């Protein structure tokens, strides 16, 4: 058995957490700009620059509601023993993100992180230390919290994106039925504003997930609760996540931009508006959602509204399968990592 200082484990949690944020960029940040690029509204470099800047602003100024939801998923005491649990949780989620990125599957980083937390906590301390939220839901106040809150948000968000995008596409087709082709130029210009808002919303929601873990790790090391993520955590998370987009989210961009439906400017515009509304609303409620989920649902919505037979449903099926297996497999990986780590390392 190797004795390791708690500060070493804390550093490892921070490093792996930032790597997770980068893999989140490989997945979800690439989803933000996929249709923007593939419909010809912007070049990849321009799109990534917009997403990086406004996503960073979202990470820094987007509040703490989502981070609080993540950090409250377990009731374990905030001491150094929690650090190895967090290390296993984040490492398991990161490994799953890397696997699905390599395969070009737009899996959900949020699912992977939730699965990682559940797996590590259950193996280390038992299922009773997960804030499931069932008792609060059926109680007198009917509060939606914990895993229940996250599952509801993850389940409903793509359907909300689908419904909004479907309605927007139908309305736009009706209002613009006699428009000339050159209107696409105006739509492409408008997309720059919408993508900026979507990137801000993405940064305010997705970056907060890893902020919640890192803040919990800092609290475990210090032995006292921390009410809000420090500024350096916000800035580092935002920068690293959007570095991931520049390093290799292109295969996922191709899947989302062309694989599901042949994207035109009007489709891109409507799907972005639907995604923006869904993610921004979730952030206001402190509900962590998957940007990839919402974007895929929105693209399906505009495709179904335009011509459902043109939607490549086989690719959608592959994506849904990847979503369904993410939580259990990332939980399994994190549980194994915790078991192996604790058999070798003891925190002092």
The SS3 of residue 217 is helix
Tokens of 169: 């596409």
pLDDT along the chain (348 residues), means of 10: 80 90 71 78 79 84 84 83 91 84 71 90 90 82 84 86 92 80 80 91 85 89 78 84 66 55 80 92 87 84 80 68 80 92 82
Longest CA–CA separation in the chain, Å: 74
Looking at 223-312, list the stretches that DSSP marks H as alpha helix, in order from N- to C-terminal side. Answer: 231-248, 250-254, 265-284, 291-307
Residue 130 pairs in a beta bridge with 74
User: Among 279, 234, 256, which residue's Cα sits nearest to residue 47?
Assistant: 256
- Distance in angstroms (rounded) separating the CA atoms of residues 234 and 249: 22
Residue 35: predicted pLDDT: 81
Angle at 123 between CA 121 and CA 128, to 5 degrees: 55
- Distance in angstroms (rounded) separating the CA atoms of residues 64 and 62: 7
Burial of 144 (0-12, 13-18, 19+ CB in 10 A): middle
Q: Is the pTM of this model over 0.85?
A: no
Contact criterion met (CB below 8 Å) for 255 and 37: no
Exposure string (b/e) for 38-50, b if CB count within 10 Å is 16 or more? bbebbebeebbeb
Residue 7: predicted pLDDT: 87
Contact criterion met (CB below 8 Å) for 59 and 235: yes
- Distance in angstroms (rounded) separating the CA atoms of residues 52 and 170: 31
């Amino acid at each position: 058995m190797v004795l390791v200082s708690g500060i070493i484990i804390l550093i490892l949690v921070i490093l792996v957490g930032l790597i997770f944020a980068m893999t989140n960029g490989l997945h979800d940040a690439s989803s933000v700009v996929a249709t923007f690029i593939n419909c010809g509204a912007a070049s990849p470099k321009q799109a990534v620059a917009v997403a990086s800047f406004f996503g960073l602003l979202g990470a820094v100024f987007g509040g703490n509601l989502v981070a609080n939801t993540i950090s409250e998923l377990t009731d374990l005491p905030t001491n150094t023993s929690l650090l190895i649990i967090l290390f296993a949780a984040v490492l398991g989620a990161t490994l799953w993100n890397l696997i699905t990125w390599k395969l070009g599957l737009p899996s959900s980083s949020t699912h992977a992180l939730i699965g990682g937390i559940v797996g590590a906590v259950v193996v280390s301390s038992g299922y009773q230390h997960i804030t499931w939220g069932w008792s609060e839901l059926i109680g007198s106040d009917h509060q939606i919290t914990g895993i229940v809150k996250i599952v509801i948000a993850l389940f409903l968000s793509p359907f909300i994106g689908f419904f909004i995008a479907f309605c927007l596409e139908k309305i736009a087709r009706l209002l613009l039925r006699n428009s000339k082709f050159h209107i696409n130029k105006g739509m492409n210009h408008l997309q720059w504003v919408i993508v900026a808002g979507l990137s801000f919303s993405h940064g305010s929601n997705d970056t907060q997930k890893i902020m919640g873990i890192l803040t919990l790790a800092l609290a475990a090391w210090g032995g006292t609760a921390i009410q809000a993520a420090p500024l350096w955590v916000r800035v580092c998370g935002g920068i690293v996540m959007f570095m991931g987009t520049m390093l290799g989210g292109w295969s996922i961009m191709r899947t989302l931009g062309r694989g599901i439906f042949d994207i035109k400017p009007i489709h891109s515009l409507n799907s972005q508006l639907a995604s923006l509304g869904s993610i921004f609303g979730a952030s206001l409620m402190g509900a962590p959602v998957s940007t990839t989920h919402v974007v895929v649902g929105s693209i399906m919505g505009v495709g179904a509204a335009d011509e459902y037979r043109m939607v490549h449903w086989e690719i959608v099926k592959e994506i849904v399968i990847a979503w369904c297996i993410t939580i259990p497999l990332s939980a399994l990986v994190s549980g194994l990592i915790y078991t192996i780590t604790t058999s070798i390392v003891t925190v002092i």
